[in-house]
Amino acid sequence: MTLRRWLYPVLAAIALALLPLLLLVFAAMLAYPSLPSLDVLIDYKPKIPLRVYSEEGVLIGEFGEERRAFIKIGEVPDMMKKAILAAEDDRFYEHGGIDYMGVLRAAYSNFTAGGAKQGASTITMQVARNFFLSKEKTLSRKFNEVLLALKIEHSLSKEEILQLYVNQIYLGQRAYGFAAAAQVYFGKNPDQLSIAEIAMLAGLPKAPSAYNPIANPKRAKLRQMYVLRRMHELHFIDDKQLETAQQQHLIAKHGNQEFSVKADYLAEMVRQVVYERYQDDTYTQGIKVYTTIRQQDQVAAYKALRKDVLEYDQRHGYRGPEGYIDLRNGDSEESLEEALQDITVDDDLIPAVVQQASPKAVRAYCKGGQIAEISGEGLKFAQRALGDKVALNQRIRQGSLIRIQKDEKGAWQITQLPQVEAAFVSASPRDGAIYALIGGFDFGRNQFNHVTQAWRQPGSAFKPFIYSAALEKGFTPASVINDAPLVFDAAETGSEPWQPKNYDGKFEGPMRMRQALTKSKNLVSIRILQAITPQYAQDYITKFGFDAAKHPPYLTMALGAGSVTPMQLLTGYSVFANGGFRITPYFIRRIEDAKGNVLNRAAPVVAGEDAEQVIDVRNAYTMVSMMQDVVRQGTAARAMQLGRHDLAGKTGTTSDSMDAWFCGFHPTIVGISWIGFDNPRSLGDRETGGGAALPMWMDYMGKILKEIPEAEYNMPDNMVEARINNDGLRAADGELVEYFYQENLPPEKSYAPSGKLQNETVKDQLF
């Protein structure tokens, strides 16, 4: 009786104790069948962005709401795996999805800390949450998370689970997965990361916004140190590795994702083409685009354009600081970083806040934490702004926001963001494959693509097309035309009375057509256009890809008063370079899906094969010959510094120096350079195509043609080489050699009884 009296309460107590567990088991039995299918995990298809590559396969652009870079678990560096386990789940390979020891440890820690300070989510539980559940902190969500973790562990191997985690976890800055985060924060592939960088990334899953090294560098550092200590405690790294990693100074990249090759304008062109074809799938299906861009060319073009623009900017003086930051409340690193947070870094033009300034030295805090000491030559450009004779808003003083960069020797110097814009594009004249395209000085500041969107006056860079038309009308390089003043009324110009002049303001009288192009004589070009008629020229230039409507049939056409884009000039000059064939520039070689299947492949027309021949090969050869003289001894003679004799081209300077051009080529490559202001204004009285645009072209060509032997242009059939005199007449004793269509040979020199030349009668408009 006594035993029974004691036993019943005990059994009742046990039943009451087991009841929650039984209810939990019952709930699990009911919930388990309704858990979501794991198909999304087994057939994992992450949203992979559009990726754009150079011809060599170098990544030059990426577009998508989510930055992703799928990596197989076998390719994940061992140290990265260890860092993730140390930070998130060191017993991952020992538990079955739920780490009961971890739960007890977290419960004890939270109890002693007086609140929820530590969680107990395993990597498997995080995978369950990331794929299937919300992040709301409710008991039902946690219950489902546990059940899903058990189901995942039952269906997938540990390596498969870890692979899902490594690729799916959100790590801030729109980066999903550790491979993407390595690129976003450090510009590296996972196998290039140091232990310190790996630990920084491994600390992010806990709270990507709180431990973001860009937004919260100090908190990110604290979290990194915790991960390094855990790695050391678990014997994943030794004492020396710990010490080295703790001391390494990390600088996370600021701003948008950067690539080793700057090709933002070209990448955006690709994005537009792909989106037009594939719409929203563009950003999620892992489409890969391989372009015609050559890495070496793009790098050379980018550097050449930046150098040219900055040199132009230096010639026109320092305009003063960008702004002013009030330092009366102190200049701590935290306050200075906050002040510079919205100021973008323009490649090597670093924003900095002046802490101390005098005519002999400037001390400035750079965005990112570096302190720059500037003196000597580094102050030269802005020396005037360091005195007290300039307005306060133009003076460099404490609190001034300035730009600085390192020179070739690594010394800091004061510079500024340029206001002028520029463009450069190069391509193969054989099939139009674009090798380099820079649409402006900085895509981050100005997305307007000057190569394809800027309609500008070509100036004298348009003259070769007028001269080419003249060759078809019977002119030859030896034709003599008068370089003398002209005056036109409004009816002849289409606008207002016009008295054109040469750039130098001088007139040299009768000269051969070759000389006129070499010296870029405006009055000769106008007389040539008078002779062939503007209407004929307007129709003729369409052979080169120009829009007739953009070039009204007036005499001003001779001086390039119409409108072109750099891309159109690339097409036009390619006709001369390839022997008379019209090609179409293109920049996409092929488009592939995520599995490497080719969706689209370019089929360019090729000069000499299936491209249309739009001008006589003899015309092209003659124009090349004349444009070689432009480079050898004319307005582009500066290009002879490259030490080559196979280059040809034409400078272009518009009225009042609004635009400066150089359009030139080698038999294997055509390059177009332009510089000007978006809101057109003069570049300066002495700024010409030969001085402002040619250096950009030279810097590019010098690098690209460095190892390429000199080429020869072979004279085509039905042409004749003949000796002439300065009057353009054939003469056995002539000192000059000229090239003619066989049917257009000039007359021989002969004398009348009076001793005067018999061939002096020429059309009035030419003299």
Query: Cα-flanking dihedrals φ and ψ of residue 313, to 5°?
Result: -60, -40
Q: Pick the closest to residue 282 from 58, 600, 62 (CA basis).
A: 62
- The H or E element containing residue 121 is none
Residue 350 has pLDDT above 90, yes or no: yes
At residue 97, the pLDDT reads 83
Q: Once rounded to an integer, what is the mean pLDDT over residues 416-435?
A: 98
- Range scoring the smallest mean pLDDT among 103-117, 312-326, 699-713: 103-117
Strand partners of residue 462: none
3-class secondary structure for 27-48?
A: HHHHHHHHCCCCHHHHCCCCCE
Query: Cα-flanking dihedrals φ and ψ of residue 60, to 5°?
Result: -120, 0
Percentage of residues in the chain having pLDDT higher than 70: 88
* C-alpha to C-alpha distances, 762 to 17, 167, 296, 610, nearest whole angstrom: 120, 79, 52, 42
At residue 760, the pLDDT reads 43
DSSP character string of 49-93: PEEEE-TTS-EEEEE-SSEE----GGGS-HHHHHHHHHHH-TTTT
Question: How distant is the alpha carbon of residue 16 from its chain centre?
Answer: 70
Is 415 in contact with 383 (CB distance < 8 Å)?
no
pLDDT, one tens digit per residue, over 57-91 is 999 999 987 888 889 999 999 999 999 999 999 99
Coil, helix or strand for 5? helix
At residue 246, the pLDDT reads 94
CA 125 – CA 135 distance, rounded (Å): 12
At residue 753, the pLDDT reads 43
Greater model confidence, 354 or 753:
354
Non-local CB neighbours of 252 within 8 Å, separated by 6+ positions: 185, 186, 200, 213, 214, 217, 220
Residue 118 has pLDDT above 60, yes or no: no
Q: Pick the closest to residue 349 from 407, 418, 403, 408 (CA basis).
A: 403
Asked about 655 being catalytic, the answer comes back as no
Residue 678 has pLDDT above 80, yes or no: yes
At residue 504, the pLDDT reads 87
Strand partners of residue 425: 437, 672
Strand partners of residue 48: 285
Q: Once rounded to an integer, what is the mean pLDDT over residues 490-519?
A: 88
At residue 20, the pLDDT reads 54
CA 356 – CA 227 distance, rounded (Å): 39
Query: Would you tell me the crossing angle of helices 217-233 and 195-202 to the nearest 10 degrees?
Result: 110
- Which ranges constitute the DSSP H helices of 279-388? 295-315, 333-340
Q: What is the CATH number of domain 66-247?
A: 1.10.3810.10
Q: Pick the closest to residue 449 from 671, 674, 690 (CA basis).
A: 674
Residue 717 has pLDDT above 90, yes or no: yes
Query: Cα-flanking dihedrals φ and ψ of residue 699, to 5°?
Result: -60, -40
| Residue with token string 């304008």 | 265
| Residue with token string 């939990």 | 24
What are 494's two structure tokens?
Answer: 């289409």
Non-local CB neighbours of 181 within 8 Å, separated by 6+ positions: 171, 172, 173, 175, 201, 204
| Residue with token string 């754009």 | 52
Question: How distant is the alpha carbon of residue 441 from its chain centre?
Answer: 9
At residue 754, the pLDDT reads 40
At residue 488, the pLDDT reads 85
| pTM: predicted TM-score of the whole model, two decimal places | 0.83
At residue 111, the pLDDT reads 46
What are 710's two structure tokens?
Answer: 């000199």
| Sequence-distant contacts of 542-550: CB under 8 A, at least 24 apart | 543/575, 543/582, 543/614, 543/615, 544/465, 544/571, 544/572, 544/575, 544/582, 544/614, 545/571, 545/572, 545/582, 546/465, 546/572, 550/455
Non-local CB neighbours of 78 within 8 Å, separated by 6+ positions: none
pLDDT, one tens digit per residue, over 13-53 is 665 555 554 444 444 444 445 555 677 677 777 888 999 99
At residue 115, the pLDDT reads 46
At residue 112, the pLDDT reads 52
Is 736 in contact with 725 (CB distance < 8 Å)?
yes
Sign for the pseudo-dihedral over CA of 550, 551, 553, 559: positive
Residue 303 has pLDDT above 50, yes or no: yes
Residue 113 has pLDDT above 60, yes or no: no
Greater model confidence, 174 or 102:
174
Supply the DSSP symbol for 716: P
At residue 493, the pLDDT reads 66
Question: Taking the CA of residue 654 as centre, how many other CA atoms within 13 Å lie in the half-sphere pointing to its CB?
Answer: 22
What burial class does residue 208 get, using C-beta atoms within 10 Å of its C-beta: 0-12 exposed, 13-18 middle, 19+ buried?
middle
Q: Once rounded to an integer, what is the mean pLDDT over residues 266-283?
A: 96
At residue 33, the pLDDT reads 53
Structure confidence at residue 331 as a pLDDT band (50, 70, 90): confident
Residue 362 has pLDDT above 80, yes or no: yes
CA 319 – CA 414 distance, rounded (Å): 12
**Is 459-562 in CATH node 3.40.710.10?**
yes
At residue 25, the pLDDT reads 46
Supply the DSSP symbol for 692: I
What are 581's two structure tokens?
Answer: 């064939």
At residue 281, the pLDDT reads 93
Of 121, 400, 426, 460, the catalytic one is 460
Is 544 in contact with 614 (CB distance < 8 Å)?
yes
Residue 749 has pLDDT above 80, yes or no: no
- Which ranges constitute the DSSP H helices of 89-157? 100-113, 123-132, 139-155
Q: Pick the closest to residue 349 from 416, 420, 411 (CA basis).
A: 416
CA 529 – CA 287 distance, rounded (Å): 50
What are 382's two structure tokens?
Answer: 């802005």
Torsion on CA atoms 328, 330, 331, 334, rounded to nearest 10: -130
Supply the DSSP symbol for 279: G
CA 378 – CA 383 distance, rounded (Å): 9
Residue 108 has pLDDT above 60, yes or no: no
Greater model confidence, 321 or 494:
321
- Range scoring the smallest mean pLDDT among 25-39, 284-298, 579-593, 700-714: 25-39
| Residue with token string 């689970």 | 161
Choosing among 3.40.1310.30, 2.40.50.140, 2.60.260.20, 1.10.3080.10, the CATH entry for 319-415 is 2.40.50.140
Greater model confidence, 14 or 689:
689
At residue 28, the pLDDT reads 44
- Select, from the ranges 128-132, 174-178, 249-253, 467-471, the one with the highest average predicted confidence (pLDDT): 467-471
Of 54, 62, 88, 738, the catalytic one is 88
Q: Once rounded to an integer, what is the mean pLDDT over residues 426-449?
A: 97
Structure confidence at residue 756 as a pLDDT band (50, 70, 90): very low
- The H or E element containing residue 632 is helix 617-633
Strand partners of residue 357: 362
At residue 31, the pLDDT reads 45
Is 666 in contact with 706 (CB distance < 8 Å)?
no
Torsion on CA atoms 518, 520, 521, 525, rounded to nearest 10: 100
pLDDT, one tens digit per residue, over 190-230 is 999 999 999 999 999 988 888 888 878 888 999 999 999 99
| Mean per-residue pLDDT over the chain, rounded | 88
Is 475 in contact with 469 (CB distance < 8 Å)?
no
Non-local CB neighbours of 275 within 8 Å, separated by 6+ positions: 282
What burial class does residue 699 get, using C-beta atoms within 10 Å of its C-beta: 0-12 exposed, 13-18 middle, 19+ buried?
buried
What are 584's two structure tokens?
Answer: 């179409």
| Residue with token string 């600390």 | 203
Asked about 88 being catalytic, the answer comes back as yes
Structure confidence at residue 252 as a pLDDT band (50, 70, 90): confident
Q: What is the largest CA-CA distance in the chain?
A: 161
Q: Where are the domains of the chain?
A: 1-34, 66-247, 319-415, 459-562, 719-760
Residue 732 has pLDDT above 80, yes or no: yes
